[in-house]
Amino acid sequence: MQQADIISEQISKVYFSTINMCPLSLKYSLDTRMNVSNYKELWSSDLRKRYYTIGDAHSINHFNAFCNSLAPPPESNSPLDYSFKFLDTKDLLKPSEIQPLFLKHRRDHLADLFHIDQSRITFLEHHRCHAAYAAYSREFLVDSKLVLTLDGGGDGITMGYWSATRDHELKLLASSSNCPIGKWWKVACILLNMKPMDDEYKLMGMAPYANEKRSKSYLQYFLDLVEIQDNGIIVLTDTGKKINHYNYFVEVFRNSRFDEICGAFQYATEYIVTKSVAQSLKFYDQSNFAFGGGTSMNVKLNRCFNYMSSIQSYDVAGSGGDETLSLGAIYAANPSTEPLHSLSIGYESPSINNLKNKLISCTISDSNSIAQFLRSIHEGEVGAIVNGKSEFGARALGNRSIVANPSLFSSVAKINSAIKKRDFWMPFALTIIDVDADLFLENPKNTVGNVMATSFSTKTDYRHLIIAGTHPYDGSCRAQIIRQSDNEAYYSLLLKYKEIYGYGALLNTSLNLHGDPLAVNADQIASTFNNSELSLLLLDNTYLITKNQQFHVD
C-alpha cells in the first residue's frame, strides 16, 4: 500500500487536530501580514491579557481594529480563509465559552469544504497529535519510551510528557499550560526585528557565534521565570506569571549584541529542556526518549540528547512542527498505522517530456548521466536533483534538492548569491551515506538521523571534506544520514560519488528560490531552474539537463 494512501485506506473518519481553542490565536498564527511593529505593539502593552481579563475600552477597540485589518478580503473564496463574524465582543470576553462555538463553526466549515457528513469529523487534541507522530511515525524499536511535546501552545497546552508503548498505547503523564520555552523564541525574534513563527531557525544558526561565557551569563534571568517540577514539567514561577515577558527581556538585553541574545536564548533552552528531560526520565523510570512539537525543530537542542547519560536511545521525527499535525492526527486516531518509512509522499517527479517543454535554452542527455553530473559537481558546479515523490515537511531529503561538493567552502557563497539568498551566517546541510557516517560524525547514541532533525558534532580529521556543510563557528552539521531503504535513488547517487571520489557526502539544500516553497512539480521545477544560476539538473537519475550558460564555483 502506498504511504500517501494512509488517510483513505486506514481510517474511517476525517480527523483534524484542533489548532487552538481560541479563534483569535488561530487567526494570529495563520496570518502572514503582521509585521514586527504589530507584534511589538501587541506584546508590549499586553493587549491580549487586558482584553480577556479587564476588557478596557482601549484593548477592545484595538483588538477589533486589529481583527478587521487581518480579515480576508470580501472577494476571497479561499477555503482556508475563516470568517470570524460569528464571534462578538461578549463571546471574546469569555474564553471558556469560545471553544465549543469555534469547533461548531469549524465542523460546519469542514463538512461543507469536503462535502461530507458532520458525523465523520472528529477533532483530536493538538499535543496528542504531536506525541503520536513523534512516537509512531518512526519505527518503534523498544518496548516503551517517554515522549516530550513542546511548542508555543496548542489547545491550551504548551508542554506534555507522554508514555508510548510498542502496543500502541499513548498516555498523557503530565502537562503544562504555561511553559514559556516556545513563546520565548517568538519574543527573541521580535527583540531582533525578525518575524516570529518564521525566523527562529535563524537565531539558532547565529547562536554559536556568541561568546559562550556571555551566553551563559544570562541564564539566571531565564531561571527566575520558570521552575522544573519533580516529573520534569516546566511551569512559570510566581514572578514569571506576574510580568510581561516581552518587556522583561527588552530590559535584560537592552545593551546586548545580536549574537549574545541568540546565544542566550539557545543556551537557556538547552539547559532548561535537558534538565527537564533528565528529571522526567528519572521520575518515570525510563531511558528511551522521543521529541515532538515545534521546539523539536531546534536541531542544536536535539544534539544535546546525544550526550545525556540518562538517555539510552532517542529519536526525533522529521519536521515535527505543526506542519505534520495532519500525519499526527492519523497516528493519534490509529496508533497501529504503519510507520512512515520515508517522508517522500508528495508529488511525483515530472516526466522528461513534460519538463523539457518548460525549460529555456537547455541540453538534455540520457547517456552516462550520473557520472557526468557527479563529475561536474565535484569540479565545482552546482546542480539540482529531482527524484520520485517530493518530500513532505521542512527538509529537503534528496528528492527535490540542490547539491554541491561539500569540500568547497566557496559553494556556500555562490549558492547564496545566485540561488538561495540566505542570511550570511546560516550553514547549509549535508547528506552522508550511512557507511561513512562514523567517518565524519559523533553519534554516541547511534540515533537514526535520516530525516535531518538533529545536528551532530563533526570529527576534525575529515572535516575538511564536508566543510561547506558544517557550521563555520562550532563545526557542527545538520546531517541526513541516508540508508538505502530511505531513498534508493539518492542513496545510489551518493554511493557512486563514494566509489569515484572516496567518500559519500554532498552539500544538500532545498530546490527553491529565496522566498518560494519547495519546487515540487514541473512548473515550479522549471521556474526555479530557469530563474536561477543552477547549471545542472538530474532527473530521476536518468536525464542530465544542462543549461547552456554554465555556473561554476571558483
User: For position 268, what pLDDT does the model report?
Assistant: 98
**4 or 360, higher pLDDT:** 360
pLDDT band at 416 (very low <50, low <70, confident <90, very high): confident
Give the pLDDT confidence score for residue 197 in this predicted structure. 80
pLDDT > 90? residue 160? yes
Who's near 553: CB < 8 A, 6+ residues apart?
Answer: 380, 381, 382, 404, 405, 408, 410, 411, 414
What is residue 8's predicted lDDT score, i.e. its pLDDT? 37
The pLDDT value recorded for residue 12 is 43
Digit-coded pLDDT (tens) for 292-342: 999 999 999 999 999 999 999 999 999 999 999 999 999 999 888 999 989
pLDDT band for 14, please (50, 70, 90 cuts).
low
**Tell me, what's the pLDDT at 153?**
87
Amino acid 41: pLDDT: 67
Helical ranges in 305-345 per DSSP H: 325-333
What is the rounded distance in angstroms from the CA atom of residue 239 to the CA atom of residue 183? 16
What's the confidence (pLDDT) of residue 220?
A: 98
The answer to whether 350 touches 389, Cβ cutoff 8 Å, is no
Sign of CA dihedral 433, 434, 440, 446: positive
pLDDT computed for residue 39 by the predictor: 67
pLDDT in tens, 456-508: 999 999 999 999 999 989 999 999 999 999 999 999 999 999 999 999 999 99
Neighbour count for residue 100 (Cβ, 10 Å):
10
Lowest mean pLDDT among 27-41, 254-268, 401-415, 525-539: 27-41
Q: Kindly state the average pLDDT of the residues 229-241.
A: 97
For the chain, give the mean pLDDT: 85
Overall average pLDDT of the 104-133 stretch: 87
Copy the grid coordinates of residue 49. 491579557
- DSSP state string for 197-258: TTSHHHHHHHGGGS-HHHHHHTHHHHHTTEEE-TTS-EEE-HHHHHS-HHHHHHHHTTT--H
Read off the pLDDT band of 23 (50, 70, 90). Answer: very low
CATH class of the domain whose range is 141-321: alpha beta
Sequence spans of domains, the chain: 19-124, 141-321, 352-547
Residue 191 DSSP SS3:
helix
In this prediction, residue 113 carries a pLDDT of: 77
Q: What is the pLDDT of residue 445?
A: 94
Q: Is the pLDDT of residue 514 over 70?
A: yes
Q: What is the pLDDT of residues 54-94, one digit of tens each?
A: 555 555 555 555 555 544 444 545 544 444 444 444 444 45
Q: State the pLDDT at residue 45.
A: 65
User: Average pLDDT for residues 539-548, to the nearest whole number?
Assistant: 94
Q: Which residues of 50-74 are buried (b: 16+ CB within 10 A; e: fewer)?
A: bbbeeeeeebbebbeebbeebbeee
In 399-454 the beta strands, taken as DSSP E runs, fall at 400-404, 429-433
The 10s digit of each residue's pLDDT in 101-118 is 667 777 887 788 788 898
Using a pLDDT cut of 70, give the percent of the chain over it.
81
pLDDT of residue 22: 39
pLDDT of amino acid 64 = 59
Kindly report the pTM of this predicted structure: 0.86
Q: Give residues with Cβ within 8 angstroms of 122, minimum separation 6.
A: 13, 14, 15, 16, 333
Comparing 406 with 41, the larger pLDDT belongs to 406
Residue with the bigger pLDDT between 234 and 416: it is: 234
Would you state the pLDDT for residue 49? 61
C-alpha cell at 138: 518512526
Residues 249-305 have pLDDT tens digits of: 999 999 999 999 999 999 999 999 999 999 999 999 999 999 999 999 999 999 999
> Mean of the pLDDT values across residues 518-533?
94
Identify the pLDDT of residue 63.
56
What pLDDT was estimated at residue 72? 46
Q: Confidence band (pLDDT; 50, 70, 90) for 420?
A: confident
Question: Considering the chain, what percentage of its residues have pLDDT values greater than 90?
Answer: 66
Q: Rounded to an integer, what distance in angstroms lies between the CA atom of residue 178 and that of residue 234?
A: 8
Other CB atoms closer than 10 Å to residue 488's CB: what's the count? 15
Q: What is the pLDDT of residue 403?
A: 95
Largest CA distance in the chain: 73
Mean of pLDDT values over 184-188: 93
CATH 3.40.50.410, applies to 352-547: no
User: What local confidence, expressed as pLDDT, does residue 554 receive?
Assistant: 39
